[in-house]
Every structure is written in C-alpha cells, then in structure tokens.
Amino acid sequence: EQIKKGSYDHFMQKEIHEQPHSLKTTMRGRLKDGGVLLGGLKEYLKTIRRCRRVVFIGCGTSYNAALAARPFVEELTGIPVTMEVASDLLDRQGPIYREDTAVFVSQSGETADTLMALDYALENGALCVGITNTVGSTLSRKTHCGVHINAGCEIGVASTKAYTSQIVAMAMMALAIGSDQISTQARRDTIISGLNNLSSNVSEVLKLDVEMKELASSLIDSESLLVFGRGYNYATALEGALKVKEVALMHSEGMLAGEMKHGPLALVDENLPIIVIATRDACFSKQQSVIQQLLSRKGRLIVMCSRGDASAVCPSGSCRVIEVPEVADCLQPVINIIPLQLLAYHLTVLRGFDVDQPRNLAKSVTTQ
C-alpha cells in the first residue's frame, strides 16, 4: 500500500496532488484542431441537440460536479438543465420524458441510487448518457453513450481528482454539443484555451498547500464552517463543505450567497468561520457586497479571490485571503475547489481522523 502512495502519507493527499496529471489524461486526445472530439458521444450529438431538457443525476460529489457544469452546459447548448439527486428523483418518481437527455454522473459507476435512477430513466424512454471513471461499470454498460473521465483509479473515500475530471469531461461535452452554434464560437475558443492551460494553473494553486495547512490549524477547534458561493461556484461551496464534513468530521455547510440574507445571516458572529468564494466572474460585485454585509456583522471571514484582488475583496484588511490563479470563469470551479480539498485534508490530519476511510462512509454505496 505504501508503494502505491509513493511519497504521500494518504491516498487523498496523493490524489489531490495528482490533479495536474489526471486532468491531462481526461483531456488527452480529445481537444483537437480547436474543437472537441468525444468518441463516446459522437453518434448521439444530433439527438442531444434536439432534446427538450438535460437532466443531471448523481449523488454526493458527483452531483456537485454536475451542479458545477450546469451553468456552462446551459450557456453553450441553450438547452434547459435541471438537477436531480438520484435518491430524490426516485422518492418523487419525478417526471422524465422521451425528449429528455438524462446525464448520469458517477465516479464508480456502481452507486445503487444512481443505477436505480438510470433504470427509471431508461423505462421512461430518455436518452441516457454516462459520465464515469470506471470502464466496464454498470453505468457505462447500461447507458446509451457517454464519456469516461479517465482520471485514474481513485482510492480515498473522499473524491477529489474525480471531481475535477468530471467537471472537465462535462465542459468538453458542453463544447461538443454546442459546436454547431456560430454565435458562441469565440466563447468556445476561450474555454478550449482555458482547458489547454488548466493543468499548469492547477499546479500553481497546489502551491497553497502550506497556507492551507496553516489555515487548517487555525480552524481545528471550530465547531462549524460555512462556505458561501454563487454562480459558477455555488457547487464549489457545496463540495468544499462536503469534503470538510466527510473527512474532517466537522459540521460544514455550503450555501448560496444570494440566500444569505434569507436566514444564514442570523448565524454570523465573531467566532463562526465563513469562507466566501469571490473570484472574478459576473457575480464578483455581488460577492463584494456579501463580504461587506458579513463584515458589518463582525463575521470571521476567509475570502477566496483571484490573484491580486486581496484589497478589492477586503479593503479593510480584516479578512484572511486565499489568492488563486484566474482562469476562464466557467473553469474556475476546478481551481477553486483545490484549496478547499487541501484544507479538508489538513484539518483531518490535524484533528487526528482517518483520512482515507472516514467513519461510517464507503467509497461506493452499492445498496439503497
């Protein structure tokens, strides 16, 4: 086992640091001549373009990856996208139609809830697409078509490299579906060049490791941690909080910053640590005002911003700031999750918990 971990202490740590490489393997051979080539979807692109709706279905981290993909899938394809947690779709027996494209996201391809939802969507006649890391899995066999994310084997129960590769696989899927639209050509070019530079930006953001360890040591005794995000980074807030919850065993909630004033604001005081994601995108000024509102309630803030933006997000200098490299806005979630993965990892080690096998959890939940 130690050999497989190489110089790392834990699989989660190894998998976090592997991301520059795993993202490259996700994209390998697929970004060609300024376009995207996804062999597993090629025959189905026309059908997908004609669908009435894309429904993303998954559990846990895979659901969060789909949520991160939702804005750019809507933007690049013009198709409405709805989100379903697999168990909730089944509980409600929610409507799925023949005209739908149901996209199932699962690292293992064996999660029982996701597979039951797949059977349900197949029965209802939807076109079923799989996004998985596991070639030959039930998900990849039962779906009509799909994309293997090729992130390499993931062993840590808390998913890290699969999350970022899922987002990138869905970005390529959105680019492929939207590739017949002339009006979005320039936008697609920007995203493709962002994908080409993504690995080196991920290597950059991994340099925050020591800083995240320091941050973790200042948070080890906290009872709770909130993470506020919006737009492209709502999913980052949910996923960052999920990592902290599942491995560091600390209560943590990801929240939509736009909902802050409708409840969560009541929790704010000098003690509760709050991470606010405020990297550059169309929501930046709204996040600046969220930060001001939190500071005026004496909130204990940790702000994640684009490099060089520390004084723009926190002019008073009273927040702790995490500066990350800026990439194409819709790819920013791939960068922004990494400091939070590192934070969850270090918090877990410092709090003395099992990193790779958190209590009560399984890598793949194959029973309902």
Using CB under 6 A as the criterion, which residues of the chain lie in contact with ligand G6P when the complex forms?
Answer: 59-62, 106-108, 111, 114, 157-159, 361, 363-365
238-265 burial code (b ≥16 CB/10 A, e <16): bbbbbbbbbbbbbebbbbebbebeeebe
Three-state SS at 132: strand
CB of 23 to ligand G6P, least distance (A): 17
In order, the DSSP letters of 44-57 are GHHHHHH-SEEEEE
The residue (of 159 and 306) whose beta carbon lies closer to ligand G6P is 159
The residue (of 237 and 278) whose beta carbon lies closer to ligand G6P is 237
Question: Closest Cα to residue 56, out of 76, 70, 74, 42?
Answer: 70
The residue (of 188 and 243) whose beta carbon lies closer to ligand G6P is 243
The residue (of 64 and 279) whose beta carbon lies closer to ligand G6P is 64
Residue 272's φ and ψ, nearest 5 degrees, are -70, 115
CB of 174 to ligand G6P, least distance (A): 19
CB of 346 to ligand G6P, least distance (A): 19
CB of 212 to ligand G6P, least distance (A): 20
What's the token pair of residue 3? Answer: 């050999």
Question: Closest Cα to residue 177, out of 236, 127, 251?
Answer: 127
Q: C-alpha distances in angstroms, 295 versus 141, 264, 313?
A: 51, 14, 11
Three-state SS at 76: helix
The residue (of 242 and 291) whose beta carbon lies closer to ligand G6P is 242
The residue (of 19 and 106) whose beta carbon lies closer to ligand G6P is 106
Q: How far apart are alpha carbons 141 and 284 in whole angstroms?
A: 42
Residue nearest to ligand G6P (CB): 60
CB of 267 to ligand G6P, least distance (A): 26
CB of 136 to ligand G6P, least distance (A): 14
Q: C-alpha distances in angstroms, 208 versus 40, 305, 307?
A: 36, 13, 12
CB of 362 to ligand G6P, least distance (A): 6
The residue (of 55 and 276) whose beta carbon lies closer to ligand G6P is 55
